[in-house]
Amino acid sequence: MIALKDVTAVIESELVLKSINLKLAKGKVHVLLGPPDAGKTTLIKVILGVWPFISGSIQIDDLELTDQTQSQVARLMGYVPSDCLLFPHLTARDNASMVANRGLGWLKYKVQARLTELCDLFSFEESHLTFYPSELKPDERVKISFIRALITDPPILIVDDPFTPVNPYPKLDLQKRFRSLLGQTNKTVLFATSDVPLVHELADHVIFLDRGQVIQIGRLSEMVQSPEVPFVREFIRMQKAGLGQGRG
Amino acid sequence: MNQSFRGLAALICVLLCTVPCVSQDAKDVAVTTSSIKIGCLASTDSLVMAEILARMAERSTALNITRAYQYQNAGELYTALQKGEIDVAPTFTRELNLLLLKEKRPKDIKILKSQLKKKKLEISAPLGFEKTMGLMVLPAAGGLRDIQKISDLKKISTLRVAVGLDFQERSEGFSSLNRLYGLTLEEVKKDSEHLTEDWLGKENIPLAVLDRTDARVEKWNLQVLEDDKRFFRKNEGVILASKKFVSTHADVWTLLKTLENKMSDNLMCRLNAMVEFEKKILTETADIFLDSSQWLALAQKRPVPDRVVGNPVQEYIRETRPVWTQLWYLSKEHLSLVLIPLFFAVIIGIPLGLLVYTFDHLHDVFRYSANLFQTIPVLAGLCFLVVFLGLRNESVSAAAFLYALFPIAKGTWFGLKKREKRFVELGWSLGLSSLQMLRFVHLPMTMGGVLWGIKKGALHLVALVTLTALVGTGGFGKLIVLGLTLKDIPMILKGALAVSLLAILIRWIFEFLEWLLVPLVYQKEDEWDEI
């Protein structure tokens, strides 16, 4: 469960999140929808404790997010960043397993077993685990990011639109695997995207974000039928028609 | 920030491991109580005299004789004598006058004696030779053959005189010479080292001002003109000893004093020429002198001891050890002079870099002062510190420390600055432990800069320590300085080559460390060089 109460964030003296109130229910898939500069990534980084917020509070399960609890809170969440960033000096295996080694004391064989399981799930060639990020294909980097996020089987999964840099065919395959993953697990998921068809298939709840503010929370169909502001419907229609990223 | 600091501390530990060689060095310096330490300035006259004293003591007693022939100025030598670092040293009255009585004109030796007594030093009577400057006629100048005294030159119209660059410092100056004698001589200044017979011939200069004991006087068969109006300041050779030595080794002191009034200018010219032109080693020169001195009632000849505690220069002079042993000793000395200041520069420099990184507004001030400091020529910087801290090894170490400090702090700052924010944020968002942050994020990204800084610092130090031999420290610079004094080309080359190799070796070590510790993707040496 993730609960945000009146969260306001300022970055470089610019108000980037305005009084966000959110409650993400356990085991549900929540999609953060909105145009590129809506503040989706900012909100995710604030929830992860990477970027600071100046007022309000964030509660993750039983923990309140503070400077002291940040790493504890971050460990409750598997995170797939938008650019699928991996440490360039570590192999795919080290990148994926470093999270399992963060004080959990997992034995080598356990890490290996989990890696094999996840490689199967994402159909990642296990021999490529010895590759460095620069040697991996874009879709393989996305897979490693997912494996890294899931290796400790955290209760919360935060995914920040990782499919953008991937070519259409592997992208479809990745999305398929992601869908089946979501179907199998009971994780609380926060998934940021501007891909409306995907939202339609996956989302239990959609959170529409624009200019650092939550505009509407609900189902996608509700947003089309009775939008809070006309831009919500307009954005969703344009996305469906593949007409670009929103406000024109 | 705290995490970065802990990581960098690991590097310090690596450096700590290199320090034991320093303590080893300290052991070598410790000398047994039954030994006599003979010191001197690194000039040919002093070296020859010191070796004669050393060989006299060595041949007549069973005592261990230690030679410290590296002193660069008289002040340093007297301080060493007073502190008990050395027991005996040959020296000259002009320098004693200058230092003790602040007098340019020579005073009676009795006054010197009473002054020295207050300083717990003992002085011998003059040894008989004078390192006084003199005006000399070249044999090629045929028309001047009949001239005996300087005042006789009055009869002759303008003549040119070759003068070493130290002439001004050691006398009233050339115009005073002309005024005193009523002459119209014309001064031609030339670095004393380069006053060669060929050059004088080519320039058609018939006269030169040189020390009366200079090896060239004998070699070129120069005629010393009598200084009938006493223009040149008297500078007699004497032996200086510490009171403690005189009381503990009275027999040796008496023996050394047998040299009083026994040595002449010509004899010193001959001995100097043996060292400078005939390339005889000092020990051999001293032995030739002692063997031919029938008046010296020495005990039976003793062989040269195999193991001598002491100065590498002495070992070089003796040439009883293989070259690599001497070089090993010198490289240990050189390295200890590099590693101690480097160690402290790392200890202070890395936190300084962290501090500047943390408080960003300090950066401009820091960078400007670092660049400004590095603009000061090394030798000038060294001189300032010598003035404030005195002529000691500590001043040299302080200068060395400062010259290494800034590159290290700069490298640390730049390494921290160059960490990519997105990777740091990724580390946080993955909930990595602080140890993991250090291992996977901070160290790999910062290490390149820190190592760059330490490498720069170390290479600066190797160069600087070589220069500091000019103010009397050890290391390979000593070979170069002594080689220049003795005009011994192989010795100079040996020192220069060793220093170059040491610098290259240090570079390789750091390149290896970089290869070992810094991931390939973060090796950005080209970028570091732009700082």
The CATH class of the A1-76+158-248 domain is alpha beta
Does residue A73 belong to the interface with chain B, where contact is any CB pair within 8 Å? Answer: yes
For the segment B467-499, what is each residue's pLDDT rounded down to a tens digit? 887 776 778 887 888 778 767 788 888 889 999
DSSP state of B149: B
Give pLDDT, residue B333.
82
**pLDDT of B107:** 66
**pLDDT-based confidence at B320, cuts 50/70/90?**
very low
Asked if B57 and B206 touch (Cβ cutoff 8 Å), the reply is no
User: Does B430 contact A98 at a Cβ distance shorter than 8 Å?
Assistant: yes
- Examine the pLDDT at B317 and tell me if it is beyond 50: no
Cβ pair B433:A102 closer than 8 A: yes
User: How distant is the Cα of A121 from the closest Cα of chain B, in angstroms?
Assistant: 21
- Are the C-beta atoms of residues B237 and B262 closer than 8 Å to each other? no
User: Does B441 lie at the interface with A, CB-CB under 8 angstroms?
Assistant: yes
When pLDDT is cut at 50, 70 and 90, the band that residue B322 belongs to is low
User: Given this model, what pLDDT does residue B113 score?
Assistant: 84
DSSP B41: E
Residue-averaged pLDDT of chain A: 84
Residue of A104, A87, A81, A90 lying closest to A151 (CA atoms): A104
In the prediction, which pLDDT does B69 show? Answer: 83
Q: Which residue has the higher pLDDT, A42 or A184?
A: A42
* B431 → closest Cβ in A85, A87, A102: A102
Q: How confident is the model at residue A104 (pLDDT cuts 50, 70, 90)?
A: low
Chain B CB contacts of A90 below 8 Å: 440
| Structure confidence at residue B506 (pLDDT) | 92
pLDDT of residue B108: 74
Specify the domain boundaries for CATH 3.40.190.120 within chain B.
Answer: 133-224
**Residue B304: is its pLDDT beyond 50?**
no
Chain A nearest C-alpha distance from B410 (Å): 24
Q: What is the largest CA-CA distance in chain A?
A: 55
B360 C-beta neighbours (distance < 10 Å), count: 9
Q: For B51-119, what is the HEC assignment?
A: HHHHHHHHHHCCCEEEEEEEECCHHHHHHHHHHCCCCEEEEEHHHHHHHHHCCCCCCCHHHHHHHHHHC
On whether any CB of chain A is under 8 Å from the CB of B438, the answer is no
Per-residue model confidence (pLDDT) at position B29? 36
Residue of chain B whose alpha carbon sits nearest to that of A70: B431
- The CATH architecture of the domain made up of B2-23+325-529 is Orthogonal Bundle (1.10)
**How do residues B218-270 score in pLDDT, each as one tens digit?**
888 888 888 888 888 888 899 999 988 998 888 889 888 888 888 888 888 88
More confident residue, A45 or A236: A45
Mean predicted confidence (pLDDT) in A129-147: 90
Helix (H, G, I), strand (E, B) or coil at B326: helix
Q: How many CB atoms lie within 10 A of CB B312?
A: 27
* Bridge partners, A206 (sequence order): A31, A218
The pLDDT of residue B509 is above 90: yes
pLDDT at B79: 84
Question: Strand, coil or helix: what is A3?
Answer: strand
Whether B522 contacts chain A with CB within 8 A: yes
| B1 contacts chain A (CB < 8 A) | no
- Among A70, A89, A94, pick the best mutation site for testing chain B contact (most B Cβ within 10 A): A89
Q: What pLDDT shows up at residue B525?
A: 57
Where are the CATH 1.10.3720.10 domain residues in chain B? 2-23+325-529
Half-sphere exposure of A217 (CA within 13 A, CB side): 11
Verify whether the Cβ–Cβ distance A74 to B431 is below 8 Å. Answer: yes
pLDDT at residue B349 is higher than 90: yes
Rg from Cα positions in chain B: 28
β partners of residue A63: A60
| Stretch among A222-231, B143-152, B228-237, B294-303 having the lowest mean pLDDT | B294-303
CA–CA distance from A187 to each of A24, A48, A117, A134 (Å)? 11, 16, 18, 31
Phi, psi of B401 (to 5 degrees): -60, -45
Nearest to A85 among B426, B436, B520 (CB): B426
What is the token pair recorded at B331? 């490289």
β-strands A14-24, A2-11: how paired? antiparallel
Under an 8 A CB cutoff, do A98 and B441 touch?
A: no
Query: Residues for chain A: how many in total?
Result: 248
User: In the prediction, which pLDDT does B503 show?
Assistant: 92
Domain boundaries, chain A: 1-76+158-248, 86-154
- Domain B133-224 sits in CATH 3.40.50.2300: no
pLDDT band at B58 (very low <50, low <70, confident <90, very high): confident
Q: Which of A98, A132, A144, A157 to mutate to test the interface with B (most CBs of B within 10 A)?
A: A98
Question: Which is it for strands A77-80 and B186-190: parallel, antiparallel or unpaired?
Answer: unpaired
Which residues have CB under 8 Å from A240's CB, separation 6+? Answer: A196, A197
Neighbours of B347 (CB within 10 A): 17
Mean pLDDT of B345-374: 87
Q: Tell me: pLDDT of B386 over 90.
A: no
A176-188 per-position pLDDT tens digit: 888 888 777 888 8
The percent of residues above 70 in pLDDT, for chain B, comes to 82
B14, pLDDT greater than 70? no
Name the phi and psi angles at A150, rounded to 5.
-100, -10
Least confident range from A101-105, B60-64, B157-161, B515-519: namely: A101-105
How sure is the predictor about B163, in pLDDT bands with cuts at 50, 70 and 90? confident
The whole-angstrom separation of Cα A71 and Cα B526 is 36
Measure A196 CA to nearest chain B CA, in Å. Answer: 27
Q: Is the dihedral of CA A79, A81, A84, A86 positive or negative?
A: negative
Residue B406 φ/ψ, nearest 5 degrees: -65, -45
The single-letter code of the amino acid at B312 is P
Residue of higher predicted confidence among B153 and A80: A80
State the pLDDT at residue B524.
Answer: 64
Closest CA to A152 of A97, A94, A190, A81: A97
**Tokens read off for B251:** 């027999």
Pairing of strands B160-164, B207-211: parallel
Contact A162, A142 (CB under 8 A): yes
- Vertex B167: Cα angle to B163 and B173 (nearest 5): 100
Q: What is the pTM of this model?
A: 0.59
**Cα–Cα distance between B529 and B456 in angstroms, integer?**
10
CATH-assigned architecture of domain B32-128+235-309: 3-Layer(aba) Sandwich (3.40)
Segment A168-214, tens digit of pLDDT: 777 778 888 888 887 778 888 898 887 777 787 777 888 988 888 88
Of the listed ranges A20-29, A83-92, B138-147, the one predicted with least confidence: B138-147
- If you compute the radius of gyration of chain A from its CA atoms, what whole number of angstroms results? 18
SS3 content of chain A, % helix, strand, coil (to 5): 40, 25, 35
Please state, in angstroms and rounded to a whole number, the distance separating the CA atoms of residues A3 and A57.
8
The per-residue pLDDT for B9 is 41
Measured CA to CA, the distance from residue A83 to residue B437 in angstroms comes to 20
Q: Does B425 touch chain A (CB under 8 A)?
A: yes
- Averaged pLDDT of chain B: 78
DSSP state of B513: H
Which residue(s) pair with B425 in the sheet?
A: none
pLDDT of residue B80: 86
Q: Does residue A33 contact residue A196 with C-beta atoms inside 8 Å?
A: yes
Q: How confident is the model at residue B31 (pLDDT cuts 50, 70, 90)?
A: very low
Do residue B430 and residue A102 have CB atoms under 8 angstroms apart? Answer: yes
Considering only alpha carbons, which residue of chain B is nearest residue A152? B430
Q: Is residue B8 pLDDT above 60, yes or no? A: no
- For A94, the closest chain B residue by CA position comes to B440
**Residue type at B362?**
L
The arithmetic mean of pLDDT across residues B266-287, rounded, is 84
3-state secondary structure of B426: helix
Taking the C-alpha atoms of residue A238 and residue A194, their distance in angstroms, rounded to an integer, is: 11
pLDDT number for residue B169: 66
Which token pair is B249? 């080794």
Of all residues in chain B, the one with the smallest CA distance to A157 is: B430
pLDDT score, position B448:
87
State the pLDDT at residue B294.
Answer: 57
Kindly give, in sequence order, each residue whose CB lies less than 8 Å from that of residue B327, ignoring residues fewer than 6 positions away. Answer: B494, B498
Token readout for A124 is 């990642």
* Spatial separation of the C-alpha atoms in residues B340 and B334, rounded to whole Å: 10
